[in-house]
Amino acid sequence: MAALFFIQNFKISFTDSYVMFLLNGIISAMAVIGVLRIFEYLFNTVTNVSLLELADFNHPLLQRMTLEIPGTYHHSLVVGNLSEAAAQAIGANALLARIGAYYHDIGKLQKPQYFSENQNPEDTGKHEGLTPTMSKMVIMNHVNEGVELAKEYKLNTKLVDFIKQHHGTSLVYYFYRRALEGLEDDQEIMEEGFRYPGPKPDTKETAIVLLADSAEAATRALTNPDAISIKNVVHKIINNKFIDGQLEKCNLSLADLEKISAVFIRILAAIYHARVTYPEVQKSGNNHKESSKENSHPSQKDKTSGS
């Protein structure tokens, strides 16, 4: 009888200890997260714990991008891969660069149909009824709208920097050129009116995202991308941003830019290189006939395309 009483008490004691252990773990985890939030706020920084939370593709903003702006979402993922690899190559914060890239274009959620990567066939004429000045205002405003969304979803200020700085003070060249083409003799267009307000990137990570953003978009626009054309467009993008003064505040060295360029070229060539054009096969009875003799012999370029 005494033995039974001891066993029962022991079980109760063990169960209580187990519950207390679990509660202690949960409370400790919550306390650590709370302390990290306070630390981030006081010192204007972001920890890897917070960044990993934002890397979750179930985050409400990333879920919205998937459904509402799938073109921008895919673009942001590629920019994230480019930025992470480039940051690793130069010893910058690779995780911060990747997560910053994921969220840099969230402002396009507000007017998605005005951005080419999200346009359906019926959306392609969205800018035709607008003046170049109106169009550039719509395009440029995705930065301010992104900042407002970031505040609404309580993103860390370090991520807001990526939204503010991913265009720097770059020129919205396409609509600036359209404005110049439509000028009358007595009119004048100021270039400054077609530039993003900035600020320019002030860290290596935000500068990398600026470069990756432009390099990916320019490569995707190539009609027949190959190793040479991709290399040329990446070099052109980085050189133009450097000459335009967009990198003057971020402490990237020329050696860093060489490494970043090499990383971009390698990854973009792997993603966008030309594919083999396979011959069409027509079925006739039990025999398969190729649709054209020319297609049955891929060109040397096709043979070496890698897929």
What confidence score (pLDDT) does residue 39 get? 43
Residues 239 and 258: their CA atoms lie apart, in Å, by 11
Contact 105, 142 (CB under 8 A): yes
Peptide bond into 60 cis (omega under 30): no
H and E: helices and strands count for the chain:
12, 2
Q: How many residues does the chain have?
A: 307
Q: Write down the H helix ranges in 44-69.
A: 48-54, 60-68
pTM recorded for the entire structure: 0.79
Residues 95 and 84: their CA atoms lie apart, in Å, by 6
What confidence score (pLDDT) does residue 292 get? 44
Q: Which stretches of the chain are assigned E, i.e. beta strand?
A: 281-284, 287-290
Residue 249 CB-density burial (10 A; 0-12 exposed, 13-18 middle, 19+ buried): middle
CB atoms within 10 A of CB 258: 13
What confidence score (pLDDT) does residue 48 get? 85
Rounded to the nearest 5°, which phi and psi values hold at 195? -105, 145
Residues 40 and 43: their CA atoms lie apart, in Å, by 5
Listed as ranges, residues in the chain with pLDDT below 50 are 6, 12, 29-32, 39, 41, 43, 289-307
Contact 232, 126 (CB under 8 A): no
Tokens of 114: 């005005």
What confidence score (pLDDT) does residue 126 get? 83
What confidence score (pLDDT) does residue 295 get? 45
The secondary element (H helix, E strand) that includes residue 45 is: none
Residues 223 and 221: their CA atoms lie apart, in Å, by 6
Spatial CB neighbours of 254, under 8 Å, sequence gap ≥ 6: none
Residues 74 and 78: their CA atoms lie apart, in Å, by 6
Residues 73 and 68: their CA atoms lie apart, in Å, by 9
Residues 109 and 269: their CA atoms lie apart, in Å, by 29
Residues paired with residue 290 on neighbouring β-strands, in sequence order: 281
What confidence score (pLDDT) does residue 29 get? 45
What confidence score (pLDDT) does residue 182 get? 81
CB atoms within 10 A of CB 81: 18
**Radius of gyration over every alpha carbon of the chain, rounded to an integer in angstroms:** 26
Tokens of 208: 């990398």
